[in-house]
């Protein structure tokens, strides 16, 4: 049965909103705040202490904030000093290191590894087995597909850490590697198994090893209709905030100009 309250530890310094459900064998550390109507499944750790916890007697855990309506699936570990907007969700066995910041409505697939010191906008979807290196910056409505890796060390091993940047509405296809300091503009599409470095303008189709800009992504046609598929928000709405009214109406209503 679900939520038996077996072997659950919740710190007295944690703050849980109303109707929060905690699964078996889960630990909620100091200074964690969990928003209303959230679900933390079995075998999770929320607010995992940082390295100093093990060596300093006076260690104080930094705040970890999870917004309302979160769904954190089993065996997820979230380190302290991270912030998550409303409707955040994970698959199983996700790891999120410290100083990670996520906007609203973000979803992380199973076995995703977020190495911390990263920032995500709203409505980002990461599929399974994605690795995001430190100092990465991800915009709004970015989709990252399985086995993508974002790197950050230009001359390994070194003390330099320069993450990748991905602009709003861009798509990073299966098996792609983004090299340190790569900058992907808005509405770009990076093809499967590409190895990408450098800076790319908005609406770029990027393919290959090494990755190259092939054309304007708006030149790509739908196989079904023959019409241009990009910008994709005009042609895809499932589980998007514009699902009921269409992207054009939604962006006008919300004064959204980043497209």
- pLDDT digit string (tens) for 155-188? 999 999 999 999 999 999 999 999 999 999 999 9
CA distance 73 to 71: 6
CA distance 209 to 188: 17
Predicted confidence (pLDDT) at residue 2 exceeds the cutoff of 80: no
Average of per-residue pLDDT across 110-131: 98
pLDDT for position 225: 84
CA distance 240 to 85: 16
Cβ atoms 130, 109 nearer than 8 A:
yes
Q: Which residues are CB-neighbours of 51 under 8 A, at least 6 positions away?
A: none
Band the pLDDT of 258: cuts 50, 70, 90: low
CA distance 190 to 49: 36
CA distance 181 to 154: 8
- pLDDT digit string (tens) for 30-45? 999 999 999 999 999 9
Band the pLDDT of 81: cuts 50, 70, 90: very high
Range scoring the smallest mean pLDDT among 87-91, 190-194, 242-246: 242-246
% the chain with pLDDT above 90: 92
What is the CA angle 29-126-173, rounded to 5?
155
- pLDDT digit string (tens) for 203-243? 999 999 999 999 999 999 888 888 889 999 999 999 999 99
Bridge-partner residues for 199, per DSSP? Answer: 183
Average of per-residue pLDDT across 114-122: 98
pLDDT for position 4: 86
pLDDT for position 200: 98
CB-neighbour burial class of residue 130 (10 A; exposed 0-12, middle 13-18, buried 19+): buried
Average of per-residue pLDDT across 38-66: 97
The position carrying tokens 């086995």 is 147
């Amino acid at each position: 049965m679900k939520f038996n309250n077996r072997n659950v530890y919740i710190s007295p310094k944690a703050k849980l909103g109303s109707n929060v459900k905690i699964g078996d064998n889960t630990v909620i550390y100091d200074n964690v705040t969990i928003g209303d109507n959230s679900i933390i499944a079995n075998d999770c750790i929320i607010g995992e202490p940082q390295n100093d916890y093990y060596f300093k007697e006076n260690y104080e855990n930094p705040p970890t904030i999870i917004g309302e309506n979160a769904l954190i699936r089993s065996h997820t570990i979230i380190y302290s000093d991270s912030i998550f907007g409303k409707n955040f969700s994970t698959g199983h066995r996700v790891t999120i290191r410290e100083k990670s910041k996520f906007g609203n409505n973000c979803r992380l697939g199973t076995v995703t590894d977020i190495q911390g010191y990263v920032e995500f906008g709203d409505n980002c979807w990461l599929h399974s087995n994605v690795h995001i290196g430190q100092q990465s910056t991800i915009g709004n409505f970015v989709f990252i597909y399985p086995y993508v890796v974002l790197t950050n060390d230009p001359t390994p091993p070194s003390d330099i850490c320069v993450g990748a940047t991905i602009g709003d509405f861009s798509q990073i296809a299966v098996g792609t590697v983004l090299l340190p300091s790569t900058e992907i503009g808005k509405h770009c599409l990076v093809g499967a198994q590409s190895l990408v470095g450098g800076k790319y303008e908005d609406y770029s189709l990027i393919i290959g090893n090494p990755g190259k800009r092939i054309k304007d992504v708006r030149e790509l046609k739908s196989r079904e209709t023959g019409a241009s598929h990009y910008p994709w928000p005009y042609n895809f709405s499932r589980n998007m905030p514009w699902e009921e009214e269409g992207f054009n109406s939604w962006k006008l209503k919300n004064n959204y100009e980043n497209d």
